[in-house]
Structure 1
Amino acid sequence: MSDISLPENAGNSPQSDAASAEPNQPQRYTPAEIEPKWQARWDADPSLYAADAHDSGKPKYYCLEMLPYPSGALHIGHVRNYAIGDALARFMWMRGHNVLHPMGWDAFGLPAENAALKNNVPPREWTLSNIASMKKQFQRLGMGFDWSKEVTTCLPDYYRWNQWLFLKMFERGLAYRKKSKVNWCPQCATVLANEQVIQGRCWRHDETVVEQRDLTQWFLRITKYADELLTGLDKLEGWPEKVRTMQRNWIGRSEGTNVDFMVANAPASASNGSKITVFTTRVDTIFGATSIQLAPEHAVAKAFAAEDPRLAEEIEALLLQQQKARETDELGAIEKHGVPTGRFAVNPFNGERVPIWVANYILADYGTGAIMSVPAHDERDFEFATKYNLPIKRVIAPNLDTDDLPLPYLAEEEAVLIDSGEWSGEACLEAQDKMAAFVETGSFGSKTVTYRLKDWGVSRQRYWGTPIPMVYCEACGADEPIPVPESQLPILLPEQIAITQEGGSPLGRVPEFVNTTCPKCGGPARRETDTMDTFVDSSWYFYRYTDPHNDTAPFDSAKVNYWFPIDQYIGGVEHAILHLIYSRFWTKVMRDLGLIVNDEPAERLFTQGMVIKDGAKMSKSKGNVVSPDLMIDRYGADATRMYALFAAPPDRDLDWQEEGVAGISRFLGKIFRLTTKFAQLEGGEAGPADAALLRKLHQTIAKVTHDFSGRWHFNTSISSIMILVNEITANEAAIDAGQVTAATVKSTLRSLIQMIAPFAPFLAAELWETLGEQGIVFRHPWPESDAALAREDEISIPVQVNGKLANVIKLPSESTDEEVKAAALLDEKVAARIAGKTIVKVVYVPGKLVNLVVK
């Protein structure tokens, strides 16, 4: 269940505690009464969780969890994510920060349309109803969100600014429309961005194979920021390395050279078929090129096919093979097939004619859609050349003797060029620079950089999304998009329409939406009927949180510049390539628009582990979802959220066990019993128990404070609190007998309640009031650890001889280094171990160990 288990006696039930207590003291822990009482009080005070003004004098702290999709109900996986952020926000409040902790709804998207198709409920009605239900769940869980900052992305006051920002991108050439091969999910009946295709399947439907189609679509030019997105990752030291690596790999920067191979006897039908441009990262191997291979959809291949029906059929067969492999995510392992075109290209370095082939493993949308094949020095090219008996020519070797050189030979650092004209004998790296310069001097190519990252396709052929603010006018040019004037925003979604999956956007079947007036000529025009990808909504929502009711701009730049970057962002690693890379792109665009000054959205990112139930990730599709409502009804909200933080470190997967929630509930009952029992305690005499209790208290404060400031090992924080509670219980008889002062007991209970406040806010509020304290507990300062009180009276020091344990000695905690070393030498067991030997060195690691090196 956890790296940490409930300590002994942590599971005592509140009922048994109550039975053993004095009958006149209220001891029963009843979360069903306590929690609604406090939630009602908090709801009545909208300023409780509200951020302070910018000039409050406090350091700011923007704590944010990724906003949820309003599916209708939270599950325990949600609880874990939001309990992490809520605990952190409460801790930072108590540490004196001005905290912004907002919440909103990623409310557009396909599930609402699917629900409309299934249940005949309009998407807006379904979505807003789900939001109301989930908001009640958040409140029942006691989450400390500033609801005055609430954002709902499907409402016009939000998506108006999606449209406004889209227009700004269009003005700058960052939003454009083109015909392209796109990813089509037949189940979603819409286009997907490359980032939404996971192993050849839809990101929403992992059983649905994504198809390839030719469609005219809207794109955002994310590739313009490819270099900055890549180099910016080096500055994100507060992000997990796993996420940064995933983004680096997705951006996929490659430095190389474009080289033009002229086509011998180019076909008359080819408008631009007189040359083939190849991209290579190893221009130094060009003398070893023995063929050129084209993608089946390459323009030159199409030109060849236009003059040769037989070749056209063979190329079409290759294309079908490629599409099938792409759709099943087997392109990397595709059996390589190719067909010769009967044509030749000329190598610009040596004038040699090399045959032109079309191959099924070359992609039109990767690089230039053409490669120079160097089989002697590339495994893939070697496989192809061997299969089709193409020439294999060595041009790189570890030295000038190549008689025993195995093939394919992948160049090592010390490799040199051979049989490469004037560059023979040159080291590979040096030759690359010189040969790339030769290409540019000869005007048959250039140095270049390519990326795996492609522009973001944002068109969706569905209804429930932001309308794209463009129109088309026959008089002005039927295919030329015309931007809607900003004064006409927002372009509203019609609320009552028939949603079907007949093909194309449902908006195209709504005449009152489609038919409009051209902003340029005043004549009849038609609106764009595609809607925006829902990842547009989540790319900038956290900026809107700072100024959610602004109706003249997306936000007030001064407010954003105060709060940004986000100090701590929390969410799942599954969004590393989707939401997180899009939001970084959107941030850079808004910076260049002059709206913000920060380069990155979040300074620190935390990706929590998954919640596992019955051996699988908790999800509706798996049928293993646990409702927090059920857990709250049985054990209370505090126990539910505290167990989610206790059962495993937050960055690891959590195996959900209901009996663990029951154990936490009993533990909270124990705190309740002890606090109510001793709340009115008076008198008492100071004794050894006082020092022991204070020592454990201040050690616990130090531990929990450190855990919050470090890697958030909340499981060990809660375990430390459990040990402190056991220490109080162990001294209960002494307290009853007046052998511990009331001041010590109440000081311990006061700090204990403050430490559980981030994890169990309802119980903390109740017990804070029970102790007679004023105000809300999590608006009071966090307790400080007193190092002197936390120090042990004795320290235990292992003594080793040549690295092997000889004994463990106990000394006063204030012992100096020299006193520790002397005590180690005088210990009887140690002395016996070193008798007759020479001490070479005495090594002391303060507070840890002494090691005697002897011979």
Structure 2
Amino acid sequence: VYTTRPDTLMGVTYVAVAPGHPLAKQAAEQSSEIAAFCEECAKGGTSEAEMATKEKLGMATGHKAIHPLSGEEVPVFVANFVLMEFGTGAVMAVPAHDQRDWEFATKYGVELKPVVADEHGNTPDISEGAYTEHGTLINSGEFDGLEFQAAFDAIAAKLAELGCGEVKTNYRLRDWGIARQRYWGAPIPVKYGPEGQTVPLSDDELPVALPMEVTVDASGSPLKKMPEFSELGDGWVRETDTFDTFMESSWYFARFCCADNHEAMLDERANYWLPVDLYIGGIEHAILHLLYARFFHKLLRDFGMVDSDEPFQQLLTQGMVIAETFYRIKDNGGKEWFNPADVEVKRDEKGRPLSAVLMSDGQPVEMGGIEKMSKSKNNGVDPQSMIDKFGADTVRLFMMFAAPPEQSLEWSDSGVEGAHRFLKRIWRQVTEHLAAGTPGTLNVDALNDDQKALRRKTHETIKKASDDIGRRTTFNTAIAAVMELSNAVAKFDDTSELGLAVSREALEACVLLLAPITPHLCHTLWQQLGHEQPAIEAQWPKVDEAALTRDSIELVVQVNGKLRARLEAPASADKATIEQLAMENENV
């Protein structure tokens, strides 16, 4: 198998092989079902976007693989999400720490074994999805306690020592056909002579401009049918193919830096601005575009046109937007797809769809499952109708909250309504706070326990949301943290001058932390809270580390893995004091 995460090796619970893998072929010879499954997989697309969004399907081959370190047997599945062209066509599956493996394992009842602790050092919650962050190893025998890089190195060294593994770099490169037989695109600056010569155009023959008076139809590129463009005289003809649009878009970031220079491709401003701090793109676009852009950038570097080695410092690959699909089978066997907005769905108490009817005729339609939004499946949702109903801030909040940016976002009307309710609550909280009186000076030395608790929650939220937005780019968890702070403000019933000062600080933090996500609402609330400058120009909230210190902490006491008590202990208490407190508890 090939893996990029040897640190998670002790969490492997199955192996998945591509339908074209020798083990799959061997299993197909023994089973007509597996043979049919492999044949069906061969018909599907292999693009990154399709692999990311298609339903994860597989079948047990009957083979077992031996874990190289524990010696345990794990089942081998043939799966539709493994490609023969990548690595060895076989992957080790760690469902606790890989979302694709998690979806497959939960579908087929395979064990989930967490081996990476969360940021608090605890076993991560994987009930709703895989925990994909790097961290400290747990449940990994002799490798427990190692951080990602140390674990990577130690496990790789162990496999090398046992003769069953090595560190290897795999490249996912495919040949790039840069020419297209079409009108759109940059003309290729080449001409052909009467005796088969191929010659690049000279500087005085450049630039080649596309003719503007063209008829574009289904019969191919109009340039081939335009002798006034292609024929240069004396038997010489111009190339009528154009460059793939990736050719132009693979260096535009450098051109942006000096777009007003009409004498050269780039000037010294490109070196001032590059490399780009953060590159965001869809999965299909990012992977191909990233390859081409890196190739172009290194080419420009070798020609002395830029100084930097890499075009981008950080990559964020955003997920797809997915939605339910509905169809009917037509007389000719094809499918007629209906937009979700035109369909009424009956759901169970957990929100799962039971049946669906087309609103125009009241007749049933088939449910095709959840797929990426596309014109072909007619399941695109126009956000404008939601914006008209709830406002742009609500739609922005929903899209940022529904999923981390790199995962698929499932469109949900009820989710949009939930986002709207939360924004109305923030508005109501600010309005009620302003009506309650004028806050006093925030004297942190005079705070009582409840006031300290809310202030601590405020600064914990600032710390978490700042890290989530700035470093981790997980906007959904930043929003969840602000929601928790809003809950804490709702429970805080103190209208004294000092109490109002503490709740004012909390509400201002809520408004500023949400400002990048819901700018219109926060702009207005910031002004209502008495600030003249717009929220967009305000200083991002700073963490007061002193506010984070606790006088006491809540400890959870377990006996043989069962919860027996929750204790309040002084933050300064030593081990003996805490043990004594626990032993004095009746349940313990």
Give 1:248 deviation, angstroms. Answer: 9.7
Give 1:729 deviation, angstroms. Answer: 2.4
Q: How do 1:427-442 residues align onto structure 2 when only pairs under 5 Å count? A: none
For the Cα contact (< 8 Å) 2:554–2:566, is it kept in 1? yes
Partner of 1:654: 409
Distance 1:663 1:531, change over 3 A: same
Selected match of 2:258 from 547, 572, 581: 547
For the Cα contact (< 8 Å) 1:460–1:532, is it kept in 2? yes
Deviations, residues 87-145 of structure 1 (Å, cap 9, x unaligned): xxxxxxxxxxxxxxxxxxxxxxxxxxxxxxxxxxxxxxxxxxxxxxxxxxxxxxxxxxx
CA distance in 2, matches of 1:621, 1:469: 37
For the Cα contact (< 8 Å) 1:246–1:577, is it kept in 2? no
Partner of 1:102: none
Q: How do 1:360-759 residues align onto structure 2 when only pairs under 5 Å count? A: 453=173, 455-474=175-194, 477=195, 479-503=196-220, 505-516=221-232, 525-556=236-267, 558-575=268-285, 577-614=287-324, 615-679=370-434, 681-683=437-439, 689-731=450-492, 734-735=494-495, 738=496, 740-759=498-517
CA distance in 1, matches of 2:550, 2:84: 48
Asked if 1:778 is matched to 2:536, the reply is yes
For the Cα contact (< 8 Å) 1:247–1:576, is it kept in 2? no
- Name the amino acid aligned to 1:647: A
Selected match of 1:820 from 570, 578, 581: 578
Distance 1:638 1:452, change over 3 A: closer
Give 1:618 deviation, angstroms. Answer: 0.9
For the Cα contact (< 8 Å) 2:393–2:520, is it kept in 1? yes
Partner of 1:73: none
CA distance in 2, matches of 1:765, 1:467: 48
5+ residue gaps, structure 2 = 1-41, 51-81, 90-159, 161-169, 325-369, 442-446
Task: Tell which deviates more after alignment, 747-756 or 459-468.
Answer: 747-756
5+ residue gaps, structure 1 = 1-197, 207-244, 253-412, 414-449, 518-522, 831-855
For the Cα contact (< 8 Å) 1:798–1:807, is it kept in 2? yes
- Name the amino acid aligned to 1:761: P
CA distance in 1, matches of 2:535, 2:490: 23
CA distance in 2, matches of 1:696, 1:764: 20
CA distance in 2, matches of 1:452, 1:746: 53
Distance 1:721 1:452, change over 3 A: closer
CA distance in 1, matches of 2:84, 2:280: 17
CA distance in 2, matches of 1:715, 1:577: 24
Distance 1:785 1:534, change over 3 A: same
Give 1:749 deviation, angstroms. Answer: 2.4
CA distance in 2, matches of 1:569, 1:524: 47
CA distance in 2, matches of 1:251, 1:493: 45
Distance 1:202 1:469, change over 3 A: farther
Give 1:532 deviation, angstroms. Answer: 0.7
Give 1:200 deviation, angstroms. Answer: 8.9
Q: How do 1:211-360 residues align onto structure 2 when only pairs under 5 Å count? A: 249=86
Identity of aligned residues (%): 41
SS in 2 for 1:650: coil
Distance 1:730 1:796, change over 3 A: closer
Give 1:691 deviation, angstroms. Answer: 2.6
Deviations, residues 75-94 of structure 1 (Å, cap 9, x unaligned): xxxxxxxxxxxxxxxxxxxx
SS in 2 for 1:588: helix
SS in 2 for 1:567: coil
CA distance in 2, matches of 1:493, 1:526: 15
- Name the amino acid aligned to 2:571: S
Q: How do 1:38-53 residues align onto structure 2 when only pairs under 5 Å count? A: none
Give 1:593 deviation, angstroms. Answer: 1.1
- Name the amino acid aligned to 2:372: K
For the Cα contact (< 8 Å) 2:485–2:506, is it kept in 1? no
Give 1:783 deviation, angstroms. Answer: 0.9
SS in 1 for 2:236: strand
Which structure exhibits the higher relative contact order, with contacts defined as CA atoms closer than 8 Å and separated by 6 or more residues? 1
CA distance in 1, matches of 2:189, 2:505: 62
Give 1:537 deviation, angstroms. Answer: 2.2
Distance 1:456 1:550, change over 3 A: same
Q: TM-score, normalised by structure 2?
A: 0.59
Give 1:451 deviation, angstroms. Answer: 9.2
Give 1:708 deviation, angstroms. Answer: 2.3
Give 1:583 deviation, angstroms. Answer: 1.7
Matched pairs, number: 387
- Name the amino acid aligned to 2:209: L
Give 1:817 deviation, angstroms. Answer: 4.6
For the Cα contact (< 8 Å) 2:46–2:83, is it kept in 1? no
For the Cα contact (< 8 Å) 1:250–1:577, is it kept in 2? no
Give 1:547 deviation, angstroms. Answer: 2.1
For the Cα contact (< 8 Å) 2:250–2:293, is it kept in 1? yes
Partner of 2:73: none
For the Cα contact (< 8 Å) 2:47–2:284, is it kept in 1? no
Q: TM-score, normalised by structure 1?
A: 0.41
SS in 2 for 1:571: strand
SS in 2 for 1:772: coil
Selected match of 1:797 from 546, 555, 580: 555
Give 1:826 deviation, angstroms. Answer: 4.9
- Name the amino acid aligned to 1:675: V
Deviations, residues 617-667 of structure 1 (Å, cap 9, x unaligned): 112222111112222111111111111111122222221101211221221
Give 1:690 deviation, angstroms. Answer: 3.0
SS in 2 for 1:466: coil
Distance 1:560 1:247, change over 3 A: farther
CA distance in 2, matches of 1:690, 1:492: 70
Partner of 1:439: none
SS in 1 for 2:191: strand
RMSD: 3.6
Give 1:454 deviation, angstroms. Answer: 5.6
Distance 1:805 1:625, change over 3 A: closer
- Name the amino acid aligned to 1:580: L
CA distance in 1, matches of 2:514, 2:460: 15
Deviations, residues 29-60 of structure 1 (Å, cap 9, x unaligned): xxxxxxxxxxxxxxxxxxxxxxxxxxxxxxxx
Distance 1:202 1:703, change over 3 A: closer
Deviations, residues 697-720 of structure 1 (Å, cap 9, x unaligned): 112112212222443332222122
Deviations, residues 153-185 of structure 1 (Å, cap 9, x unaligned): xxxxxxxxxxxxxxxxxxxxxxxxxxxxxxxxx
For the Cα contact (< 8 Å) 1:250–1:453, is it kept in 2? no
CA distance in 2, matches of 1:805, 1:741: 35
Give 1:488 deviation, angstroms. Answer: 4.1
CA distance in 2, matches of 1:663, 1:636: 13
SS in 1 for 2:494: helix
For the Cα contact (< 8 Å) 1:584–1:600, is it kept in 2? yes
Structure 1 or 2, whichever has the larger Rg, is 1
Distance 1:202 1:461, change over 3 A: farther
CA distance in 1, matches of 2:431, 2:177: 61
Give 1:202 deviation, angstroms. Answer: 10
- Name the amino acid aligned to 1:820: I
